[in-house]
């Protein structure tokens, strides 16, 4: 049984005394690897004694002896999600009926998955989601306070419109330069990246023989977990965002060197059987979907039909994929048929990506461009989208035949950058998403 770690909380629990089918874990202050100079801080809450609010560089992944798969899930929609209220690490926000339905859908999606252990944030919106997902599994599920949501100090509990009115300069910095954003004497994003790296020290260490693990936490926390595992700095904040109750999967491989740092690969981002990956975010300049055919008639029919869930303005195909490009175009029933053309990849992947971005952002409101290519080209294209060196792309990303990845070109910083709505969503999941919308 789990009892949440709570001290004097600034905000009351929404449902005190609720029984949790989990196990209490790790509520004592952390033994940090070295002393650092901290800012004088008057901001206090129940997590202050943990002493984990540090803007130090993230720790590397700890050595492991066997490969591990880690499934990372965000909580279902919460009351403060619905109200557009800043949650941070406060615990007054609880799951809405929609959020509970999302958690149940996630539980169903993962019902056949085997897990050796699970870890969850202590905040109720995450721990209740973990209860649904974990179900009656006999193996332990641990609460770890370092998995709480990003600490947003004075913003917590405020409507986003109130933040804009009362903290205009801070809100602008939060939107345009989150990596360097300072609030209440803290660097929230840098602290989150460090805290996520602390979580990995525990998740990968215990149980030592575990090879399949589940983590249930929060949008920003999960971004920190993904990015620190993949070796991506805090400047990647908001680029691998997490949808409510969706799952992202990391495969983590031991180093070939004794006590070396493991290598992590993102197998998928925002796997879901209900969420619509085509829902537009803020300040989107254009959208690019990487569509990977499988040469399987049934799977390719699903992929083509999935594109009919949204308006497509143009389809560009790499050599050898003209037939499937036309199949996807013809699936756009009830809408104007998109133009079909070739993807100019002769001069390299960077030029091909530049062509896609130019097309996607070529008019007011943006366009949706679908690029059809094989799995290896899609991995390299993801690397271009995420500003990786070409040799790193196959280490960081995975794309499977019969999959799609949805990318938005967004303007929330001094320059446009790419946000991934989903990566490597497979045809089986596409079919379930379409079925959920009938």
Task: Report d(CA 191, CA 318) in Å as an integer.
Answer: 42
Closest by Cα among 257, 278, 292 to 375: 292
334 is in an annotated binding site: no
Q: Is 74 annotated as a binding residue?
A: yes
Q: How far is CA 27 from CA 142, 144, 420, in A?
A: 11, 7, 34
Known binding residue 79? Answer is yes
Determine whether the annotation assigns residue 93 to a binding site.
Answer: no
C-alpha to C-alpha distance for 394 and 196, rounded to whole angstroms: 23
What sign results for the dihedral spanned by CA atoms 280, 281, 285, 290? negative
75 is annotated as an active-site residue: yes
Which single residue is written with the structure tokens 């089986």?
Answer: 428
Contact 183, 154 (CB under 8 A): yes
Q: 78 has which bridge partners? A: 95
List the catalytic residue out of 75, 186, 321, 368. Answer: 75
Residue 160 marked as a ligand binder: yes
How many whole angstroms separate alpha carbon 40 and alpha carbon 168? Answer: 24
Q: In what order do the strands lie in the sheet with 368-372?
A: 141-143, 117-120, 212-217, 68-74, 247-253, 263-271, 417-426, 403-410, 284-292, 368-372, 314-317, 339-342
Crossing angle of helices 97-109 and 124-134, rounded to 10°: 40
List of residues 6+ apart from 432 with CB closer than 8 A = 109, 273, 274
Out of 46, 124, 131, 149, the active site residue is 149
77 is an annotated ligand-binding site residue: yes
Active site residue 149: yes
Residues 6+ apart with CB under 8 A from 356: 288, 316, 343, 369, 371, 381
Alpha carbon of 216 to those of 20, 74, 120, 122, 186: distances in Å? 14, 6, 5, 10, 25
CA–CA separation, 402 and 291 (whole Å): 8
Which residues are part of the catalytic machinery? 75, 149
Q: Binding-site residues, please?
A: 74-81, 125, 160
Q: Binding-site residues for substrate, please?
A: 74-81, 125, 160
């Amino acid at each position: 049984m789990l009892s949440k770690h709570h001290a004097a909380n600034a905000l009351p629990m929404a449902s005190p005394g609720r029984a949790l089918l989990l196990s209490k874990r790790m509520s004592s202050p952390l033994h940090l690897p070295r002393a650092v100079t901290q800012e004088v801080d008057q901001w206090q809450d129940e997590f202050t004694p943990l002493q984990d609010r540090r803007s130090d560089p993230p720790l590397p992944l700890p050595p492991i002896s066997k490969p591990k798969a880690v499934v990372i899930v965000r909580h279902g929609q919460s009351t403060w999600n619905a109200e557009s209220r800043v949650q941070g690490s406060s615990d007054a926000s609880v799951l809405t009926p929609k959020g509970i339905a999302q958690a149940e859908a996630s539980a169903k999606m993962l019902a056949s998955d085997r897990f050796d252990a699970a870890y969850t944030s202590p905040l109720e919106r995450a721990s209740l989601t973990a209860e649904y997902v974990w179900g009656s599994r006999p193996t332990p599920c641990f609460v770890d306070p370092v998995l709480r949501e990003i600490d947003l100090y004075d913003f917590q509990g405020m409507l986003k419109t109130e933040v804009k009115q009362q903290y205009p300069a801070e809100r602008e910095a939060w939107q345009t330069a989150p990596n360097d954003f300072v609030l209440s004497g803290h660097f929230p994003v840098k602290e989150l990246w460090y805290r996520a790296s602390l979580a990995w020290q525990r998740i990968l260490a215990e149980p030592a023989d575990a090879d399949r693990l589940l983590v249930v936490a929060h949008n920003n926390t999960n971004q920190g977990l993904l990015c620190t595992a993949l070796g991506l700095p805090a400047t990647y904040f908001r680029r691998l965002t997490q949808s409510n109750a969706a799952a992202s999967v990391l495969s983590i491989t031991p180093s070939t060197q004794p006590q070396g740092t493991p290598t992590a690969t993102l197998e998928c981002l925002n796997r879901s059987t209900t969420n619509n990956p085509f829902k537009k975010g803020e300040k989107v300049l254009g959208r690019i979907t990487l569509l990977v055919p499988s040469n399987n008639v049934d799977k390719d029919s699903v992929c083509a039909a999935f594109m009919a869930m949204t308006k497509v303005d143009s389809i560009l195909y790499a050599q050898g994929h003209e037939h499937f490009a036309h199949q996807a175009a013809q699936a756009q029933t009830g809408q104007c048929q998109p133009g079909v053309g070739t993807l100019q990849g002769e001069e390299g992947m960077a030029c091909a990506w530049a062509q896609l971005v130019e097309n996607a952002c070529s008019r007011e409101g943006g366009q949706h461009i679908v690029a059809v290519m094989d799995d290896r080209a899609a991995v390299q294209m993801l690397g271009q989208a995420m500003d990786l060196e070409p040799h790193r792309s196959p280490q960081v990303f995975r794309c499977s035949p019969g999959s799609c990845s949805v990318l938005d070109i967004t303007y929330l910083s001094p320059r446009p950058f790419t946000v991934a709505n989903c990566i490597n969503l497979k045809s089986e999941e596409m079919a379930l998403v379409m079925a959920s919308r009938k």
